[in-house]
């Protein structure tokens, strides 16, 4: 009798076990994996808010994601690998979810929603690891693919080699494995290769089949073509019927052989009975007892033959019934295939009709758009006079009130762009361009730049050297060696000789004017304060737009520098040059602006 090991989580395995019990198939539940939630960041969940398509690989993925309470985009399309997963997604997220007929990654990729996914954002909700084919194929289709792992599979800590030996002792001859992770966990403890090679392994996809064939030598592998309970039940039922049919054929062969071997025995028994009867006729004295014994033996032989014949007929009737059921099942399968083919043809016809309708709708829409564009081009645009008046007044306000001449030019440029789409505005636009050029040519005083420049000069005033003393020119020098030839000048000649003698010890220079005294500390402070005051006054006049006071203050500051500072020093020369440059610069704060376009705009309005 078939005994199947169910390895999915307890709840799912219990549902499958109940259905197997109704089919008189024994099962044992032993989950191989434990599911554990994975920490998911807010940034990862935010991907769902902008996703175009959300893919779910299992019911567990849907449940673990729902526990995080994410926000799915209203426009997003939900797809699932299997029907059960799609129903779970619809129930949890209240959104429609579609699934393919073939519940595999290949079937999901064949869905129309995943045909044209270039530049679309796709989020795959799954467990940790696996589903590499989906990722590779969607990236190849130029989709923006983003995996979102919400749980991970961990091996059951209670599994060991002794448990695998217990399974073998209990007569388990089949196992259901639903993922590559469960295959790894099962093979880790199923170390008996002989038992493993005799097992019937039910897998849920071609991907799992290939993975198991690479990992172990298993001879009996059945692909259920889906991970839902219906697919697994159908695969087990088909295999169970096949095993029963094979067992019946073996039993039929054994029965036939036993019947053939019993026929000679019956003949021998019949011959023996004839001989017994002859003996009874000859020996009447002792024949009664022997006759009774012979009769009993004959009756026993006939009863045995009748029982064997009855058993043979029952087996024959059962085989006929089984063949009839197989024929009926084959007819049903043929009908299902015919219906599937008809549905496929109908689907192709619907797709063709839908494509034709879409093409017709696009053609009609393009024609309607072309007609509307043609009608719009035929219409004469109407000038928004209030907008023209508003832009022109804004330009005047910026130029005459805010002194923002570039801003006024920008307003007039916007007005020119507005007028270029309307006929009869050439004269007004010409006047606007004249005003725009005039406004862009206005050069006003750079008040901020001049103010900062004066601040820099004032900061260095304390480092300027003052002219502390003014020495007069030396008196004309007399040649000490020039002696007079006049005898009467003997006294002067003697004095000059004495001066020449002591010249090496003491030198006395004579000036033509008296030497002015040095400046006192108070005088130095007053001079520096006076220079600073004049330059600060120039700054104040600059901010108040008073060009006359600005020029006078700079002139006074320059006079102080020339009278009291060392004009030969480099930093004093630099200050003097800067003051001269500032004094010579013309200051224009509010130039006179006249809008030549005023009359043209007034006439246009």
Residue-wise DSSP of 495-550: HHHHHHHHTTT-----BSSPPPPPPPHHHHHHHHHHHHHHHHHHHHHHHTT-HHHH
Q: Are residues 204 and 133 in the same domain?
A: no
Task: Tell me the whole-structure pTM to 2 decimals.
Answer: 0.40
Q: Are residues 199 and 307 in the same domain?
A: no
Q: Are residues 529 and 567 in the same domain?
A: yes
How many domains would you assign to the chain? 6
pLDDT score for 359: 83
Per the domain annotation, does 559 fall within a domain? yes
Considering only CA atoms, which of 470, 480, 446 is closest in space to residue 519? 470
Q: What CATH number is attached to the domain comprising 115? A: 3.40.50.10090
Considering only CA atoms, which of 111, 114, 80, 117 is closest in space to residue 95? 80
Q: Are residues 146 and 200 in the same domain?
A: no
Q: Are residues 421 and 453 in the same domain?
A: no
Per the domain annotation, does 113 fall within a domain? yes
Q: Are residues 344 and 435 in the same domain?
A: no
What DSSP assignment string belongs to 58-96?
A: -HHHHHHHHHT-----TT-EEEESSHHHHHHHHHHH-S-
pLDDT score for 56: 94
- Cα–Cα distance measured from residue 569 to residue 579, given in angstroms and rounded to the nearest whole number: 16
Q: Are residues 149 and 187 in the same domain?
A: no
The answer to whether residues 88 and 59 touch, using CB atoms and an 8 Å cutoff, is yes
pLDDT score for 260: 45
Q: Are residues 61 and 121 in the same domain?
A: yes
Per the domain annotation, does 490 fall within a domain? yes
Q: Are residues 352 and 394 in the same domain?
A: no
Per the domain annotation, does 601 fall within a domain? no
The answer to whether residues 561 and 567 touch, using CB atoms and an 8 Å cutoff, is yes
**Residue 436: CA atoms inside 13 Å, Cβ hemisphere, count?**
16
What are the average pLDDT values for consecutive 10-residue runs of the chain, which has 605 residues? 85 87 89 88 89 92 92 91 91 92 84 89 87 84 91 83 86 89 87 87 88 87 85 85 67 53 43 44 54 70 66 71 76 80 83 84 85 70 79 84 80 85 82 84 76 89 80 52 69 76 61 60 89 91 86 91 90 90 77 78 77
- Cα–Cα distance measured from residue 469 to residue 514, given in angstroms and rounded to the nearest whole number: 11
Per the domain annotation, does 83 fall within a domain? yes
Per the domain annotation, does 604 fall within a domain? no
Per the domain annotation, does 597 fall within a domain? no
Lookup: tokens for 206 = 């071609």
Q: Are residues 76 and 218 in the same domain?
A: no
CA separation (Å) from 322 to 2, 25, 326, 329, 554? 19, 19, 6, 10, 123
Per the domain annotation, does 44 fall within a domain? yes
Boundaries of domain holding 571: 445-470+520-589
Q: Are residues 339 and 464 in the same domain?
A: no
Q: Are residues 449 and 566 in the same domain?
A: yes
């Amino acid at each position: 009798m078939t005994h199947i090991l169910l390895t999915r989580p307890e709840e799912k395995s219990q549902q499958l076990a109940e259905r197997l019990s109704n089919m008189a198939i024994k099962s044992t539940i032993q989950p191989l994996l434990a599911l554990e939630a994975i920490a998911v960041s807010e940034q990862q969940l935010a991907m769902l808010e902008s996703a175009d398509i959300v893919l779910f690989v299992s019911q567990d993925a849907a449940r673990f994601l729902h526990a995080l309470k994410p926000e799915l985009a209203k426009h997003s399309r939900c797809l699932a690998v299997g029907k059960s997963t799609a129903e779970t997604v619809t129930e949890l997220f209240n959104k429609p979810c579609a699934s393919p007929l073939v519940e595999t990654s290949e079937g999901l990729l064949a869905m129309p929603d995943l045909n044209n996914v270039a530049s679309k954002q796709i989020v795959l909700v799954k467990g940790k690891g696996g589903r590499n084919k989906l990722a590779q194929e969607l990236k190849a289709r130029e989709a923006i693919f983003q995996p979102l792992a919400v749980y991970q599979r961990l091996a059951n800590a209670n599994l060991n080699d002794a448990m695998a030996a217990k399974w073998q002792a209990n007569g388990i001859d089949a196992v259901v494995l639903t993922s590559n992770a469960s295959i790894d966990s099962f093979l880790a403890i199923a170390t008996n290769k002989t038992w493993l090679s005799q097992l019937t392994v039910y897998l849920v996809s071609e991907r799992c089949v290939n993975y198991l064939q690479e990992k172990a030598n298993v001879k009996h592998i059945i692909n259920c073509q889906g991970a839902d309970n219906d697919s697994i039940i159908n695969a087990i039922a088909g295999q169970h019927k096949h095993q029963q049919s094979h067992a019946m054929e073996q039993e039929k062969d054994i029965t036939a052989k036993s019947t053939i071997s019993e026929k000679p025995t019956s003949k021998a028994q019949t011959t023996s009975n004839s001989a017994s009867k002859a003996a009874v006729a000859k020996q009447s004295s002792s024949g009664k007892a022997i006759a009774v014994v012979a009769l009993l033996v004959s009756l026993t032989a006939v009863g045995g033959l009748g029982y064997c014949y009855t058993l043979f007929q029952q087996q024959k009737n059962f085989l006929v019934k089984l063949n009839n059921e197989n024929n009926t099942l084959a007819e049903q399968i043929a009908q299902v295939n015919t219906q599937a083919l008809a549905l496929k043809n109908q689907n192709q016809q619907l797709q063709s009709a839908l494509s034709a309708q879409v093409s017709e709708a696009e053609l009609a829409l393009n024609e309607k758009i072309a007609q509307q564009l043609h009608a719009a081009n035929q219409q004469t645009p109407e000038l928004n006079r209030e907008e023209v008046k508003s832009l022109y007044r804004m330009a005047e306000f910026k130029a005459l009130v805010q002194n923002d001449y570039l801003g006024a030019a920008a307003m007039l440029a916007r007005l020119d762009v507005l007028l270029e789409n309307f006929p009869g505005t050439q004269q007004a636009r010409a006047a606007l361009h004249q005003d725009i050029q005039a406004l862009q040519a206005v050069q006003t005083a750079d008040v901020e730049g001049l103010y900062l420049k004066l601040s820099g000069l004032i900061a260095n005033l304390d480092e300027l050297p003052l002219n502390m003393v003014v020495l007069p020119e030396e008196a004309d020098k007399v040649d000490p060696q020039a002696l007079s030839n006049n005898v009467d000048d003997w006294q002067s000649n003697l004095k000059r000789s004495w001066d020449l003698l002591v010249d090496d010890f003491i030198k006395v220079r004579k000036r033509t004017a008296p030497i002015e005294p040095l400046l006192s500390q108070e005088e130095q402070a007053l001079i520096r304060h006076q220079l600073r005051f004049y330059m600060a006054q120039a700054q104040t006049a600059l901010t108040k737009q008073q060009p006359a006071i600005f020029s006078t203050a700079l002139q006074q500051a320059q006079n102080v520098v020339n009278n009291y500072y060392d004009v030969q020093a480099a930093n004093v020369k630099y200050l003097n040059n800067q003051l001269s440059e500032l004094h010579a610069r013309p200051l224009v704060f509010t130039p006179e602006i006249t809008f030549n376009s005023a009359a043209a705009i007034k006439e246009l309005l």
